């Protein structure tokens, strides 16, 4: 019910009835007149129940703040925050990133739920990127943050290990002759 009137199906209201004794009211918002108080009434042989609810206009979330917390070779850890807008909580974030020479149509998108760790992985080493973020709530995505440029760290050459098989040329010759001898024995 709305304003003491029983709601009938129309271009504004659609009622879905399911097999599990559930009804769903879909409200198409063409203007502000549909916002306000609604009363849902139900009854069966066991009794009746009423629930009042308020339909309010949802607003997109605010632009999030983005901070790079850690920048490692191929990985960037981000801090993302967005204040809720109105009564709608922020549910998640979308990060878009690209190379500075590319247009945003060539971007990579990564979505995160609130509370997860915001990590971009598998980035190229020692490479400049541009990223931006948008927050998501029940009304959808908000506007993107300003572009943020960062360069991933290069792989530290001290972490690359090389191993010497032989330290003396005579050891290498002895090793080769053993390999050749074993190869000849296998024929």
CATH architecture, range 65-159: Sandwich (2.60)
pLDDT tens for residues 109-165? 999 999 888 999 999 999 999 999 999 998 889 999 999 999 999 987 654 444 444
Give the model's pLDDT for residue 158.
53
Q: Is the pLDDT of residue 76 over 70?
A: yes
pLDDT band at 168 (very low <50, low <70, confident <90, very high): low
Domain boundaries, the chain: 13-55, 65-159
One-character DSSP codes across 45-113: TTEEEEEEEEE----PPPPPEEEEEEEETTEEEEEEE---BTTBPP-EEEEEEE-TTS-GGG-EEEEEE
pLDDT tens string 53-62: 888 887 889 9
What one-character-per-residue DSSP string does 9-58 give?
Answer: -SSSEEEEE-TTS-EEEEE--SSGGG-EEEEEEEEETTEEEEEEEEE---
The predicted model gives 33-55 an average pLDDT of: 86
Q: What is the pLDDT of residue 182?
A: 40
pLDDT band for position 1 (cuts 50, 70, 90): low
User: Between these two residues, 57 and 78, which has the higher pLDDT value?
Assistant: 78
For residues 140 and 5, give the distance between their C-alpha atoms in angstroms, rounded to a whole number: 31
- Among 33-37, 48-52, 144-148, 181-185, whose mean pLDDT is lowest? 181-185
| 158 DSSP assignment | G
């Amino acid at each position: 019910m709305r304003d003491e009137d029983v709601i009938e199906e129309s271009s504004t209201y659609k009622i879905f009835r399911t097999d599990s004794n559930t009804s769903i009211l879909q409200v198409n918002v063409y203007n502000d007149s549909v916002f306000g108080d609604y009363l849902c009434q139900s009854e069966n042989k066991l009794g009746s129940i009423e629930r009042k609810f308020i339909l309010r206009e949802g607003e997109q979330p605010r632009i999030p703040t983005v901070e790079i917390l850690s920048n490692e070779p191929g990985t960037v850890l981000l801090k993302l925050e967005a204040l809720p807008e109105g009564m709608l909580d922020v549910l998640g974030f979308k990060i878009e990133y690209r190379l500075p020479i590319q247009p945003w149509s060539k971007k990579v998108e990564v979505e995160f739920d609130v509370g997860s760790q915001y990590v971009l992985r598998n980035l190229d080493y020692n490479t400049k990127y541009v990223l931006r973020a948008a927050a998501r709530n029940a009304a959808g995505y908000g506007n993107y943050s300003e572009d943020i440029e960062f360069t991933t760290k290069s792989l530290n050459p001290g972490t690359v290990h090389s191993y010497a098989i032989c330290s003396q040329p005579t050891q290498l010759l002895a090793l080769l002759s053993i390999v050749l001898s074993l190869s000849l024995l296998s024929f």
